[in-house]
Structure 1
Amino acid sequence: MPRKKKPVIEYRHYSLPIDFPVLLLSGERWKISDTRSEHLHFHNHLEIGICYSDSGIMEFQGEPVPFTAGDVTFIPRYLPHTTYSSPDTASLWSYLFFSPEELFQHSFKSVFSSFEPDLWAVTGKNCILNKEQYPKVYTLATSVVEELKQQKPYYQENAYGLLLSLYIELLRIHSTNEMLAEHEAEHSLRGDFVISPALEYITKNYMTSITIDSLAGLCHLSTTHFRRKFHEIMGAAPLEFLSRTRIEQACKQLKSTDDSILSISGQVGFHSISSFNRCFSRLMGESPKQWRKGAQAEAQPAKASILEFTGWV
């Protein structure tokens, strides 16, 4: 009997606007084909999707879950999935991407890590919320999209409040299913996407000293196996991904603060200004000083883009 072919998992990196770190993808371009992709993909930010028309299937590591017009999807970062429409249709979507820790860091009084969805307790059924069953979620999600589209006075303030309410509502719904789903999800996800703990750790601790051995330990893999698996999925070595994460954060600091380059290099985890300058120039094509000057001169809010955006072409 032939061995079941493992799915290809693709990393899609979205760069958020610095001044208001919420990315909206909307319009006619975001129609989803009825062709089923053999590739799963995952994102570096939490994704909220709104389906406006037609129906189809979302797959989460072999688990097919139907969707229909009016559904809202809630997909944590690093959760592999794919979407395709019903035959002879092309469902229309809008997508919101953001990092809850970054966006809501001043809104939660308790330790924010307790508000993060547990990736291993998420199943596909928890990720798709029907309009009839969850009308509040649909109303809040569509209201955020309209605010970001119309950009009326104070739209960012209003979008922030709506998005915070939406996120809390989604966490409440998720928490009711968490214990029931935990055992099933652990078996369905860990096998093919074992590097997720390392990605989460880098995202939250990029400013600290991190070794490959420690990342491999988080994933319960040998260092050699971890290196191979990480490169297979991410297309980059673990420490290269760490460097890219640090430089992206540095770009945000260079754009949005007056902190010195020396100070920023230390804030994002570099132990010397020379190593920071070398790494920055290699990834961004110019020195931190040159990049800051160009970013501050731009009329539009800058994006700190390092990894190529593949999108849904």
Structure 2
Amino acid sequence: MPRKKKPVIEYRHYSLPLNFPILLLSGERWKISDIKSEHLHFHNHLEIGICHSDSGFMEIKGESIPFQAGDVTFIPRYLPHTTYSSPNTASRWSYLFFSPEDLFRYSFKGAYHNFEPNLQMLKGMNCIFNKENHPKIYTLATSVVEELKQQNTHYQESALGLLLSLYIELLRIHSMSLPLANQETEQNVKGDFVISPVLEYITKNYMRPITINFLADLCHLSPTHFRRKFHEMMGTSPLDFLNSTRIEEACKQLKRTDDSILSISEQVGFQSISSFNRCFSKLMGKSPKQWRKGVQSEAQSANASILEFTGWV
């Protein structure tokens, strides 16, 4: 019997606007095809989707869950999934991407608690919220989108407040729907996204010294197997992913603060200013000093950058 083909998993990196850490993708452009993609995908930020028309299915962790117009979806970062519409339709969506850390840090000036679901315990059915059963979720989600689209006076403050309320409401529902003490074993999660603990760890601890052996241990893999698995799923090495995470955070600090370049390099985890400058120039095409000078005269707002339209009409 031929071996079952492993699904291809694509990484989609979304860079949030540096001056306002929420990305909205909306409009007629954002329609889902009725052709089921052979690839699962995941992103580096949490995604909230609103289905405006038609229906279809979302595949999450081996489950195929139906959706319809009026549903709100809640996809934590690093959770592989795919979406496709019912035959002969193209469902229209709006998507919000944001980082919980950035959201709470931006709103409360540093006061942040780790409000994020455990991906190993998350069930696919917990990711879709029906308008009739969860009217508050739908109202808050659509209100955030409208604020960001209309951009009336003080829209950013309003959108942040609404999004905070929405996110906390989602986590309340999530916490009530899962067992209080569900310690899953390695065997239970064998089929899940094996490198997700590393992606989560790097996202929250990029500023610390990190070794390959430590990251491999998080996944219960040997260093060699871990390197191979990571590159297979991410298309890059663990070290390059770590450095790109550090550089992305450095860009935020270069824009938001007057801290010295040396200080910022240390804050994001580089051991020397020379390695920081070298890595920054390689990824951004200019030195940190040149980049900071440019961003002061022109607002940097990076768009969705990797595999942006794969699977879209």
Q: Is the 8 A contact 2:104 2:111 kept in 1?
A: no
What is the CA distance between 1:185 and its match in structure 2? Answer: 11
Distance between the aligned counterparts of 2:63 and 2:184, measured in 1?
11
- Give 2:80's aligned residue: 80
Greater mean alpha carbon deviation, residues 69-78 or residues 99-108: 99-108
**AA partner of residue 232 (structure 1):** E
**AA partner of residue 284 (structure 1):** M
Q: State yes or no: 1:309 paired with 2:310.
A: no
What is the CA distance between 1:177 and its match in structure 2? Answer: 1.5
Distance between the aligned counterparts of 2:213 and 2:91, measured in 1?
44
Q: State yes or no: 1:171 paired with 2:171.
A: yes
- Cα 1:187–1:154 change in 2 (3 A) is farther
What is the CA distance between 1:109 and its match in structure 2? Answer: 10
- Cα 1:279–1:9 change in 2 (3 A) is same
**AA partner of residue 222 (structure 1):** S
**AA partner of residue 307 (structure 2):** T
Distance between the aligned counterparts of 1:30 and 1:81, measured in 2?
17
RMSD over aligned Cα atoms: 2.1
- Cα 1:7–1:183 change in 2 (3 A) is farther
Q: State yes or no: 1:208 paired with 2:208.
A: yes
Distance between the aligned counterparts of 2:149 and 2:241, measured in 1?
33
- Give 1:91's aligned residue: 91
In the alignment of these two chains, the number of paired residues is 309
What is the CA distance between 1:2 and its match in structure 2? Answer: 2.1
String of CA shifts for 1:228-282, please: whole Å, max 9, x gaps.
0000000000011001000111111111111111111001001111111111111
What is the CA distance between 1:186 and its match in structure 2? Answer: 7.4
What is the CA distance between 1:303 and its match in structure 2? Answer: 3.4
What is the CA distance between 1:108 and its match in structure 2? Answer: 10
Task: Note the 1:108-187 alignment, pairs <5 A.
Answer: 112-113=113-114, 115-179=115-179
- Cα 1:142–1:185 change in 2 (3 A) is farther
Distance between the aligned counterparts of 1:125 and 1:87, measured in 2?
22
String of CA shifts for 1:199-237, please: whole Å, max 9, x gaps.
000000000100000000011110011000000000000
Q: Is the 8 A contact 1:28 1:92 kept in 2?
A: yes
- Give 1:16's aligned residue: 16
Distance between the aligned counterparts of 1:134 and 1:38, measured in 2?
31
| Uncovered stretches (5+) of structure 2, i.e. residues with no partner | none
What is the CA distance between 1:187 and its match in structure 2? Answer: 6.2
- Cα 1:22–1:119 change in 2 (3 A) is same
Ranked by relative contact order (alpha carbons within 8 Å, sequence separation 6 or more), the top structure is 2
**AA partner of residue 219 (structure 1):** C
Structure 2 length normalisation: TM-score?
0.94
String of CA shifts for 1:141-189, please: whole Å, max 9, x gaps.
0000000000000001111111011011000110012218957897675
Q: Is the 8 A contact 2:61 2:123 kept in 1?
A: no
Q: Is the 8 A contact 1:123 1:181 kept in 2?
A: no
- Cα 1:95–1:185 change in 2 (3 A) is farther
Distance between the aligned counterparts of 1:183 and 1:108, measured in 2?
34
Q: What SS does the corresponding residue of 1:126 show, helix, strand or coil?
A: helix
What is the CA distance between 1:61 and its match in structure 2? Answer: 3.1
| Uncovered stretches (5+) of structure 1, i.e. residues with no partner | none
Please state which structure has a larger fraction of its residues in helix: 1
Q: Is the 8 A contact 2:45 2:77 kept in 1?
A: yes
Q: What SS does the corresponding residue of 1:179 show, helix, strand or coil?
A: coil
Distance between the aligned counterparts of 1:2 and 1:44, measured in 2?
34
Task: Note the 1:221-236 alignment, pairs <5 A.
Answer: 221-236=221-236
**AA partner of residue 254 (structure 2):** L
Task: Note the 1:17-56 alignment, pairs <5 A.
Answer: 17-56=17-56
Q: Percent identity?
A: 73
**AA partner of residue 209 (structure 1):** P
Structure 1 length normalisation: TM-score?
0.94
